[in-house]
Structure 1
Amino acid sequence: MVISPTVRESEELFPKYFFEVWHALESSASKEGPSYKPPYFRFLTLMSFHAFMQENVDAAIYEVGVGGELDSTNIIDKPAAVAITTLGIDHVQTLGETIDLIAWHKAGILNKGCPAFTTEQGTEAMQVLDQRAEEKGVNLTKVTPGVALHKVALRPNEDFQSKNASLAIKLARAALDKLSVIIDHGDDRLPVQFVEGLENVVWRGRCETKMTGNQHWHMDGAHNEQSLKVACQWFGQITQNSKRARVLFFNQQSTRDAPSLLGSVYRTLYKDFERGFYR
């Protein structure tokens, strides 16, 4: 069962753990007064803790919901490792409208004594991350794609995926070290298990192509100006040699600034597509 692209659970276990947490909250709350349940994302976070503990998982990967400093996932004192991916303007109602405010919140996941990594950032964002890391006594490591990744067939084969893969490698190694798992790798080569994982991963809704009859559907769930620019560049590159008409569908249903987002799409692709639909 897919709750979202990043939250997956089996059809059998999901209702089991859902109602175990639901009834536990109802029972404990009734002792204090009117029954109260946490909002959707916080409930899922709590349920995931319960499910992972019941299943005795070796390692759990958590993606923050919004920001980091005040996020419901940010309650683990000593995670195996943390990482901050490329930052952009997003969730401005909660985090603020400038990149420095957003970076401040994102740096909230940094914990003293916990390995911390980040990919390259803009100057202003990096300054804030470095400052907060210093305040927290954290050694924040800047990660760039290494030579070993050049031989890995990443999907999608884009610059941002190389950056993501570099962070994933650092996180995986930190988690395996925490579990005292030794994976043999020599020189600067990646362990074969890492290569297989990186090449076989399927990232739904990110630079994804589907075939329906003789039609090609290119899909991406980008939802801020920065990621939309990257998604549109990918779309333009992958279809630039096509002799068929290209039609762009743009859908925006949240509280984000739709005109600004559509403007990012237009500025990137205005020379490349013949017809556009906005919903």
Structure 2
Amino acid sequence: MRFHNFDLNLLVALDVLLKECSVTRAAEALSLSPSAISNSLSRLREYFDDDLLVQIGRKMELTPRAEGLREAVRDLLLRFDSTIAAPPAFEPHASDRVFRIFSSDYAQLVLGPALMTLAAQQKARVRFEFAQQVAQPHRDLERGEADLLIIPTGFMSPDHPREVLYKEDFVCMVWRDAELARGELTFERYVSAEHVVMQPNNGRVDAFEGWFLKRYGVTRRVEVLTYSFITLLALLVGTNRVATVHERVARRLVGVWPLEIRPTPIKIDAMEQAMQWHKFRTNDPGLSWLRSLVAEAASRIDEY
């Protein structure tokens, strides 16, 4: 099919080429031969009068024209997928659809048990794929690489719909035999102590540090960094360090290691955990089912 002399069958090939920046990987993703993808690339170059992909050293990189096309092509295909290609109804017990959810290990620990239980009760045959959070999660929504984000509202895009799921408070945790476990954990002891902190794997500094400095005029002594909210607690064992963590994580894992919970000696606003999806996919029946399931799971997280 052609539109303004453009073969619409080339759109999918173009989208994958712009994502993979490789003829070989694009061929694998589309289950086609490299020669077929090379032929598509030649036709695309002819139509746009641009190389699109150029060899630089051992890898191929996008030309400025290709960079300008990448988001537009992904957006066009996502619109098509969410309107014309979307099935009119969704039956979870008869579907083998894969739902890709971007969330932290914290969200999976707290929300996961209720979510999996509800899906099992509905005899859902769908599959869930959880992926790590990234620096700009809305980009994954817009590229169609994530069906749903489950993250704090502060990290969400204003361009897509959201729904707040629940609020989360914070507590401190220490090794039960540590000096910090004796007596009250005061502000002075908290500030002078060594801290174990979770830092996202994208290398971004924990936003809590900037907030803490701005409010109290001091910085914490961060001695240990980890990419996981769960292993954060294990790294306290045998030390005189403290960690500031989500209360539900602390309650669930306090008995796993010899740790104790202490109130935070500072005022920390509760975190709002929410889900966000692409605005073009609001009426996707499968995604509507998933959102309903997540919302119900959020209302029951304290049962597990």
| Same fold (TM > 0.5) | no
Which structure has the larger Rg? 2
Which one has a larger percent strand, Structure 1 or Structure 2? 2
TM-score normalized with structure 2 length: 0.20
Q: Using CA pairs below 8 Å that are at least 6 residues apart, which structure has the higher relative contact order?
A: 2
